[in-house]
Amino acid sequence: MKSKFAFCLIALACAGCSPIGPDYERPLVDMPANWKSLPSANPSLWKEAKPADGQPKLAWWTFFNDDTLNKLEATCLENNFTLQTALARLDQAVAQSDARSAALLPTLQLGVTGSRSLISADRPLTNYDSNNFSTVQNDFRPVMVMTYEVDWLGKIRRDVEAARDTAEQAAADTENVRLLLTAQVASAYFLLRQFDEEIRVLKVVVSLQEKLLTIFKTRYDEGAATRTELSQQTALTQTSGAQLEILIGQRNIQENQLATLTGTPAATFSIAPGRLPETMPAFPVKLPSELLERRPDIASAERAMAAANAQIGVAKAAYYPSLLVAPAFAGYDSAYMSSLWSLPSLIWAIGVTATQTIFDGGRIAANVRFAKAGYTGTVATYRQSILVAIQETQDAMSTVQQLDRARTKQDEAVTNLNHALQTSYVRYREGLDNALALTLIQQNQLTALRTKWQIRGGQFLANVSLVKALGGGWEGLNVPAPTTPPTAADVDSLAVKAGG
């Protein structure tokens, strides 16, 4: 009775031991008071971030109100092989975590053996006065064997903790892959639509320049224009045509990239020409503390840090003895099937094995140093990922605001240049202006029109970058109403009128 009581006491003491090694605490990170482009923040609104990357997230790309983009994103999430690889790795990590957790429980194995053997009559005996004879013997033995490592220092618990943190890191990595892929699809799509707008503008401008070239040829044949003037207009028309071919090639590259992102062979994929969306959603910009809660790459770095911290405990546990309940088995053993399940045939055994490393040449100490260095590295990675997140968000916010101001000014410039082109064309036709002035205005107009759509496309790309920087998804956040660009007049159509 005393031995049973002592055994139970030891088991309870082992179960109550705190796991060896340092308990994990998320390191503090110095956060900025506010973004550069926002008014001063109320310090009372700032709080320590708690990763919330696992919250359900909305399909942020739907805020652009573009059906083609929505279909591309859905196809990407369903067919992209990079995402499928990340999901497979997540399944592996979860399975590995489950396998490590099983070590907290004993392992039971059931075995059955049966044999019939002939014993030699000439076998050696310890007593030579005894008669020796040959015999046939049966042996039937069903046995259940148990093995169990006593986690008296918490080594197994630390190992399970590390495995669970690693599985959570894999989940965050998968979410990050999903965010990056959807952002790549949106960026490639908006860049393709930007090229569509530039191609449309160039086709209008080339058409105008070809009409003007016809006028130049007529005036040259009539002796009203010089050979130099004709050559300048011819070269300008050819240059615009070359730029058009380059743009078409650039559009093809973005189309091929979208094919790969959606899991489709580029040779069988195509997107009809279209326009950039008419609306520009104004995505919310939250405080940096909430930024940390949404970004999956930061959550991944934080989970890697927790897993590395748990590995320190696993390494330190090697300094102490390991306790293994083995052998431990129970079963029956009999020479006859008829008496196999009787009480006299019952057999059992239980034992505890303790092993302690006496000399290993410094291997355990090296493993502990390795684990500590690994944790230090993950802390640095975590802090760096926060700095990168803040930088990416600040860059995206600044770009969005600057492009918004630039777009307003560029629209005014295009309107003024279109009016100037019409005036110069009329003056040239009436002989009041020379060809050089008309040519310069054409060049300026082409540059201004392309810049206008490059800025507009850049606004969409900057908004996608902002989405990615803030972790994607706006569950529980109020998204401001989308903005619509000025549409008082189609400034591009004025170029057609100039060709009258």
CATH of the domain at 253: 1.20.1600.10
Is residue 422 in a domain? yes
Domain that holds residue 95: 32-38+47-103+154-319+362-499
Q: How far apart, in whole angstroms, are the C-alpha atoms of residue 470 and residue 400?
A: 14
Is residue 142 in a domain? no
Strand partners, 118: 136
What string of H, E and C letters represents the secondary structure of 311-376? HHHHHHHHHCCEEEEEEEEEEECECCHHHCCCHHHEEEEEEEEEECCCCCCCHHHHHHHHHHHHHH
pLDDT at 498 over 70: no
Is residue 122 in a domain? no
Is residue 435 in a domain? yes
Q: For residue 492, what pLDDT is reported? A: 47
Q: For residue 488, what pLDDT is reported? A: 34
Is residue 388 in a domain? yes
Write the pLDDT tens digit of every residue in 273-311. 999 988 787 776 666 666 667 889 999 999 999 999 999
First to last CA, the chain: 111
Is residue 335 in a domain? no
Which tokens in the block code for residue 79?
A: 């067919």
Number of domains in the chain: 1
pLDDT at 70 over 90: yes
Q: Which amino acid is at 457?
A: G
Q: For residue 53, what pLDDT is reported? A: 60
Which tokens in the block code for residue 245?
A: 């071919």
Over residues 405-429, mean pLDDT = 84
On whether the pTM is more than 0.85, the answer is no
Is residue 235 in a domain? yes
Write the pLDDT tens digit of every residue in 125-181. 777 677 777 888 888 888 898 888 888 888 899 999 999 999 999 999 999 999 999
Is residue 178 in a domain? yes
Looking at per-residue pLDDT, the higher value among 248 and 344 belongs to 248
- Answer yes or no: are the C-beta atoms of 31 and 289 closer than 8 Å: yes
Q: For residue 476, what pLDDT is reported? A: 47
